[in-house]
Amino acid sequence: MKIAKNSKKEKWDLLSTKKLMKKLLDETHNLKDVELPNDTIKIDDLNRKQALERLYELIDDLIEKIYANGKPVVELPSRSNSNIIWDEESDLLLLGKQIQKKYFHSLTSVADITRLMRVLEIINELLLKDMHATKREIFYTDVKLFQDQKNSDKSLEDVATMLYTTRNSTHVVASARGSCVGRLRIRDRNDIIDLEGLGSGGWGISPMLDNIEIIESDAEFILVVEKDAAMMRLAEARFWRDYPCIILTAQGVGNVAVRMFLKRLSKELRLPVFSLVDSDPYGHYIHSVYMRGSKRLSYESPFLATPDIKLLGVLTRDLDKYKVPGDCRLDMNKTDLKRTRELLKEDFVKKNKEWAKDLELSLKLKKKAEIQALSSHGFEFLTEKYLPEKLTTGDWI
Amino acid sequence: MKVFRKADGGIVQLIDKNKMMEWPIELPLIFIEYIKNNKLESYNDKDVEKKIEEYLDEVLKDVAIPRLIDVLEGNNNTEIIEALERIDNIANDNLDMARPIKPYLNDLANNKNKEITKLAKGILELFRKEERRKELNKKRKIMKEKEEEFLNGKITPEEYAIARKEYLEFRDNR
């Protein structure tokens, strides 16, 4: 491996990124919330008091049904594939208005209903005590009843959709698995946290985002990286000092906390957001989840998705452009090829010609590469050449 | 967020002051101090620094002080004690930050609750010491001028002795 020469660092002006930043800051419509089409359900992000009120309304309704005919039914939006809609206008995966009914007096749904009511009880307790719990903790509150965490997770998602709110609003949070560094200051209850001063490990993104508030930033863009190794490289180089930015990683597909935090950053700071993922179909999939949300959590998309995120790299076309040596390129296997073809069938890829073109190129070359492959030009190549050059020239999708 | 644009094309964004209305009462003051002490110079743009200072003054005037005053004017002794303890910390770090609260401390120094009285008097004592220090500096300067005048024969030894006595009395009367 070649080690980069200790020559004078080239300073890039990030012209294209600055132009994009200026455009986003000047666009006042960006401040408005996403307007959802009529045939989709609307989900609200609620504070503790509002969530409790909604929960009590639901219970009151159930009690009334019991008084009326003794056979209560709960109704919730269906989360089946047929009810998931891609809205071209907002560029999000959303939940349609198909309703699913769960009957209390039915042998097929009695276990489901019992779990659902138990989860409602737990959520009530969490909200009243102003505490948060992870999905795993919920499972352990009643192992006999839930039997498997899949069941408690499903009930949790059912409860969130029944309440027409996000899972975070029910105080059930994803376990922390993501970090953030860079030009950002936040408030976590009574503490001010400086994300530039936490060492190379950065700030572990808190799943209790209702306690977090963005208070100051002089960043000009946000960079989401797939790999911890790339994050380490950027942190070690203190990349944000030369190029004012905020860097996040979720070590793979962004979990709810990371995606929600990214959405907050993007919405409140109105900065350009870029992703840096491996040049393979899984990397492109990770980018798509940040951009449009996942099908499973489509009902929360407006609070989780960052539709304006740009795919900065590593693009298939970069492999030749940046002369990634043949040794560092890997052959795509059957699964890779299948996944790439599947991605090409997605409406949101078809709509983005450049994206489709890059995926087609990968099918043609049948090659993939990790972000780390760029280190073949030296450890500093990523931070001193690849990223600054792409951010300056606007070489993104 | 409130956006401040730098001459070099960069930006600084600060949280909108309206969002601070829901914060714990001492936090807006801590925020102001944090930005002033830790961030302001790092922006490297005099114009932006000036605008941010003006914004922070607005936060102080419109959010931080009214919120503290609301508590101090209320009847909840526990809240008043908590607020005074926070003001005491702030005043010890930077007395100027607590100055707008001073008129309210005079009333609280005569409160029936002993803890409130003690805390209010303690903070007022900080102000008194600060004012005395300023006054002493002023008198020291005048004394220096008198010494020069005396050495140049512009004032009589008696006039000098009176001025010196006044200065020493003030200096030693703590």
Domain spans of chain B, in order of start: 2-131
Check which CATH number belongs to the domain holding A347 and give it: 3.40.1360.10
Based on the domain organization, do A107 and A152 belong to the same domain?
yes
Over 50: is that where the pLDDT of A182 sits?
yes
**Shortest CA gap B95–chain A (Å):** 21
> Is A215 inside any structural domain?
yes
Based on the domain organization, do A267 and A248 belong to the same domain?
yes
Domain limit, last residue, from A120, A143, A172: A172
> Is A38 inside any structural domain?
no
> Contact A268/B24, CB-based, under 8 Å?
no
Domain limit, last residue, from A172, A207, A227: A172
> Is A9 inside any structural domain?
no
ipTM for the predicted complex comes to 0.80
Query: In this structure, what are the phi and psi dihedrals at residue A195, rounded to the nearest 5 degrees?
Result: -80, 0
Is residue A345 classed as helix, strand or coil in its secondary structure? helix
Based on the domain organization, do A363 and A326 belong to the same domain?
yes
> Is A8 inside any structural domain?
no
Of A225 and A294, the one with more pLDDT? A225
> Is A10 inside any structural domain?
no
Contact (CB, 8 A) for B19 and A212: no
Taking CA–CA distances from A215, the nearest residue in chain B reads: B15
> Contact B43/A218, CB-based, under 8 Å?
yes
Residue A60 sits in which domain range? 48-172
Separation of alpha carbons B16 and B9, rounded Å = 21
Taking CA–CA distances from A217, the nearest residue in chain B reads: B13
Question: Which chain B residues are closer than 8 Å to A216 by Cβ?
Answer: 12-15, 35, 39
Based on the domain organization, do A160 and A264 belong to the same domain?
no
Based on the domain organization, do A330 and A343 belong to the same domain?
yes
- Each residue's pLDDT tens digit, A200-236: 778 999 888 888 999 999 999 999 999 888 998 999 9
**Shortest CA gap B14–chain A (Å):** 5
DSSP A269-296: H---EEEE--BSHHHHHHHHHHHH--ST
> Contact A187/B24, CB-based, under 8 Å?
no
- Each residue's pLDDT tens digit, B36-66: 989 999 999 999 999 999 999 899 889 988 8
> Is A5 inside any structural domain?
no
At A343, the pLDDT band (50, 70, 90 cuts) reads: very high
Domain limit, last residue, from A137, A152, A172: A172
Question: Which chain A residues are closer than 8 Å to B1 by Cβ?
Answer: 214, 217, 268-270
- Each residue's pLDDT tens digit, A128-161: 999 999 888 999 999 999 999 999 999 998 999 8
Based on the domain organization, do A156 and A255 belong to the same domain?
no
Based on the domain organization, do A153 and A246 belong to the same domain?
no
pTM here?
0.80
Mutation site for B-interface testing, chosen from A47, A183, A187, A195 by largest number of B Cβ within 10 Å = A187
Question: Which chain B residues are closer than 8 Å to A215 by Cβ?
Answer: 14-15, 31
Separation of alpha carbons A7 and A201, rounded Å = 28
Separation of alpha carbons A273 and A20, rounded Å = 10
> Contact A21/B11, CB-based, under 8 Å?
yes
- Polymer length of chain A: 397
Check which CATH number belongs to the domain holding A67 and give it: 1.10.10.10
Mean pLDDT on A17-41? 77
Mean pLDDT on B161-171? 89
Based on the domain organization, do A27 and A52 belong to the same domain?
no
Using a 10 angstrom Cβ sphere, with 0-12 exposed, 13-18 middle and 19 or more buried, the burial of residue B124 is: middle
Separation of alpha carbons A85 and A5, rounded Å = 51
Based on the domain organization, do A112 and A227 belong to the same domain?
no
> Contact A192/B3, CB-based, under 8 Å?
no
Question: Which chain B residues are closer than 8 Å to A268 by Cβ?
Answer: 1
> Is A194 inside any structural domain?
yes
Based on the domain organization, do A195 and A339 belong to the same domain?
yes
Based on the domain organization, do A109 and A210 belong to the same domain?
no
Is residue A136 classed as helix, strand or coil in its secondary structure? helix
pLDDT, position A27: 81
- Each residue's pLDDT tens digit, A347-390: 889 989 999 999 999 999 999 999 999 988 988 999 999 999 99
Based on the domain organization, do A234 and A94 belong to the same domain?
no
Taking CA–CA distances from B26, the nearest residue in chain A reads: A190
Is residue A188 classed as helix, strand or coil in its secondary structure? strand
Number of domains observed in the structure of chain A: 2
> Is A3 inside any structural domain?
no
At B10, the pLDDT band (50, 70, 90 cuts) reads: very high
